[in-house]
Amino acid sequence: MKRRTRTTLIVVGIAILLAVIVVLNLTRKEAGEKVDTKEVAFGSILSQVSATGELKAKAQVNLQAQVMGVIEQLYVDEGDRVDQGDLLLELDRGRYQAQMVLARSRYTQAKLSHARVDSLFGRRLVSEEQYEASKAAYEMAKAQYEEAEDSYAKTSIRAPIRGKVAKVNVEEGETVIIGTMNNPGTVIMVIADMSRMEAIVEVDETDVVSLRIGQHADIEVDAFPDTTFAGTVTKIGYMPLQNLLSTEVEGVDFEVEVTLDSTVPELRPGMTVSVDITTASLDSVLKVPIQAVGRREIDDEEKETVFTVEEGKATLRPVRTGKSSDTDIEITEGLDPGEEIITGPYKVLSKLKEGKKVTPGKKKDKEDEQRREAEASDSIGD
């Protein structure tokens, strides 16, 4: 009897355990997929394009000689400030001076000779052919003298702009050569006007279409990690940059110039910069987290969509979007304030289907959201 009672209790216990497992499974299944959600609300959006590059002086000249010679006197060092027209260096002018004296003598002789022939031609004592030959010799001698005089003057090299001597590449006694088709020639020094600096950055082809002249930019210089400089887009390249040394297929970039609104003496050409260009700043627009929006098929047509939570089920809704930031995107049509949308997790959202039961889990922390809103408003205000 006792054995039969024990067996009965064991069977009943197993049955209860199985029943509990079944109920728990049914309950878990009924609860649906756990998802992260957020209420649709109005807020601010700051849309930016980011790029990297380097600093360059707004006015910068690579100074080269126009005549070949040995450097006789060098009057400046790196870091010196110069005004336009200041004498920077002198080349050995002995040969050029001799050529000028010789050309001047020939010019003087040809001038006097042509004056006599002109007088005789006026009295019909020489032929027209002799007169034309005399005139040609005079004009040739004059041109040679002017050329020799110009070459002599170019042995004194002066500052073409006002600025700072950023780099000196030569020393006294060295020979400078002029550029040819196959030889770029000697860059004697670099003079830069440091009072106006610009950032030269490379922007991807997908981003450059949203840039406009005059847009505001924030510039960070690696050498000044705690300082942000304000700037303005002043030039957008129309031709893509080409890397002639690379054989690999790479993305297309365009050169963009951003002029700094202010500068400090410590800034130098060649410093690495990061630039954030503001392409749009919107306030009080309907927005959702950017990861909530995806392209899916509705009625055999691919559209931008979001999933909303309605009566515990995921409902696919087509939407129209506008400007976006790194974290949020503007909704121009398809959603109303206060609606609950699914924002994640990505693994669930990427496989979610219309009508599937869901259980809202993690929501955005309100204090964190308010902080983000305040930061976006401050950025727009700046």
CATH of the domain at 262: 2.40.30.170
Asked if residues 194 and 188 have their Cβ atoms less than 8 Å apart, the reply is no
Same domain, 238 and 224: yes
Q: Pairing state of beta strands 313-318 and 253-260?
A: unpaired
Provide DSSP, 28-75: HHHH-EEEEEEE-EEEEEEEEEEEEEEEEEEEEEEEE-SS-EEEEEE-
Whether 224 is in a domain gets the answer: yes
Q: Say which CATH number the domain at 118 has.
A: 1.10.287.470
Whether 231 is in a domain gets the answer: yes
b/e map of 220-236 (b: 16 or more CB within 10 Å)? bbeeeeeeebebbbeeb
Model pTM score:
0.64
Same domain, 244 and 295: no
- Domain total of the chain: 3
Count of CB atoms situated within 10 Å of the CB of 50: 15
Same domain, 119 and 37: no
Same domain, 300 and 352: yes
Same domain, 353 and 292: yes
pLDDT of residue 80: 92
pLDDT of residue 1: 47
Same domain, 251 and 307: no
Same domain, 268 and 314: no
pLDDT of residue 257: 95
Task: List the domain range (segments joined by +) for residue 210.
Answer: 50-57+195-281
Whether 268 is in a domain gets the answer: yes
Same domain, 353 and 287: yes
Among 138, 154, 170, give the residue marking a domain's end. 154
What is the pLDDT tens value at each position of the chain, 382 positions in all? 455 666 666 666 677 777 767 666 655 545 578 888 889 999 888 888 999 999 999 888 999 999 999 999 999 999 899 999 999 999 999 999 999 999 999 999 999 999 999 898 888 888 999 999 999 999 999 999 999 999 999 999 999 999 999 899 999 999 998 877 677 788 999 999 888 899 999 999 989 999 999 999 999 999 888 889 999 999 999 998 876 555 454 678 999 999 999 888 888 888 999 999 999 888 888 999 999 898 888 888 888 999 998 888 888 899 999 888 888 898 998 889 999 998 888 888 888 888 888 888 755 544 455 455 555 445 444 4
Ramachandran class of 114: left when φ > 0, alpha when ψ lies in -120 to 50, beta otherwise: alpha
Angle at 371 between CA 366 and CA 375, to 5 degrees: 145
Q: Say which CATH number the domain at 298 has.
A: 2.40.420.20
Whether 77 is in a domain gets the answer: no
Same domain, 314 and 254: no
Angle formed by the axes of helices 128-153 and 94-122, to 10°?
A: 160
Among 281, 303, 326, give the residue marking a domain's end. 281
- Give kind and range of the element (H or E) at residue 282: strand 272-289
Among 123, 154, 185, give the residue marking a domain's end. 154
Same domain, 316 and 265: no
pLDDT of residue 300: 82
Whether 63 is in a domain gets the answer: no
Same domain, 312 and 366: yes
Whether 22 is in a domain gets the answer: no
Whether 228 is in a domain gets the answer: yes
Same domain, 293 and 253: no
Whether 294 is in a domain gets the answer: yes
